Amino acid sequence: MKHDKIERNIGLMLVLILLAISIGGLVEIVPLFFIKDTVEVVKTADGKEMVRPYTPLEQRGRDIYIREGCYLCHSQMVRPFRDEALRYGHYSLAAESKYDHPFQWGSKRTGPDLARVGGKYSNDWHVKHLKDPRKVVEGSVMPNYPWLMDPLDTSDIAARMKALRTVGVPYSSGEEEYQRNVQTFGEEVAKTLRIEDAEANLKEQAQTGNYDGNKADVTEMDAMVAYLQVLGTMVDFKQFDDDYFATFR
């Protein structure tokens, strides 16, 4: 069949377009019914989940990250290509983003990918970089964010966690849910997920971590740096064989 015949017959073209879309959709959708799970199982030796929800401070940092539009220039997805693995580390797992609403995957990289930036730089480096990027990265086009040194509003953290709880993030409210988190994540993590203690836990982590170098105040910088420092650090890839995660793909 000549191509010009298809282009001249709008009805035929619509039928063929729908046929092509249907075949492509089936190829993508049908295999999902035969895969047991597309989210990788990543647990410690004692059966606890490695990937946990963000602490109150980390979650506020993530909210600020989104508010400031950081995702417009930085992806959080290491793709399964050799060059990306050499630069950033192990490719990103679905499990690492299962508590992210919305997730930050993508391929737009005006700046480097941040999926595994946690622990790569010191807190002090991040503070300097966010205040004035060119002081640590010559020629950077990233804008300055000096206002992140302003005090952090902690009054609504419990409400934010309750909202995330409605979409499946296992922040706990009540003893029964707390004990469930103890079984899933361990007691130390479960304590940080209690909505009733959200504001106190946030302030305690900020004071202990001293992310912005100033213990006198809890700032937006504390939250932002706490969030950046946890990215990509939850899964201990040394505990898994090289081909383990391929079974989920």
Please compute Rg for the chain using Cα positions: 22
Mean pLDDT, residues 95-108 taken together: 90
Please tell me the number of Cα atoms within 13 Å of 84 on its side-chain side: 17
Residues for the chain: how many in total?
249
Q: Give the residue with greater pLDDT, 179 vs 29.
A: 179
Burial code of 73-110, b = ≥16 C-beta within 10 A, e = fewer?
ebbbbbeeeeebeeebebbbbbbbbbbeeeebbeeeee
Q: Which helix H or strand E contains 8, and what residues bound it?
A: helix 3-8
**Phi, psi (5° rounding) for residue 209?**
-75, -30
Helix then strand then coil, % of the chain, to nearest 5:
55, 0, 45
Topology of domain 56-248, CATH: Cytochrome Bc1 Complex; Chain D, domain 2 (1.10.760)
In the chain, domain spans: 3-34, 56-248
What average pLDDT does the structure give for the chain?
A: 93
pTM for the model stands at 0.86
Please tell me which of 4-8, 32-36, 82-86, 121-125 the model is most confident about, judged by mean pLDDT. Answer: 121-125
Position 3 scores a pLDDT of 77
* Mean pLDDT computed over 12-36: 87
Task: Note the pLDDT tens digit of each residue in 110-121.
Answer: 999 999 999 999
Mean pLDDT, residues 108-132: 95
- In this predicted structure, the answer to whether residue 74 has a pLDDT above a threshold of 70 is yes
Per-residue model confidence as pLDDT tens digits over 179-194: 999 999 999 999 999 9
User: Distance between CA 202 and CA 238 in Å, rounded?
Assistant: 30
Choose among 156, 136, 152: nearest CA to 144: 136
Nearest to 174 by CA among 189, 190, 185: 190
Give me the pLDDT at residue 156, please.
95
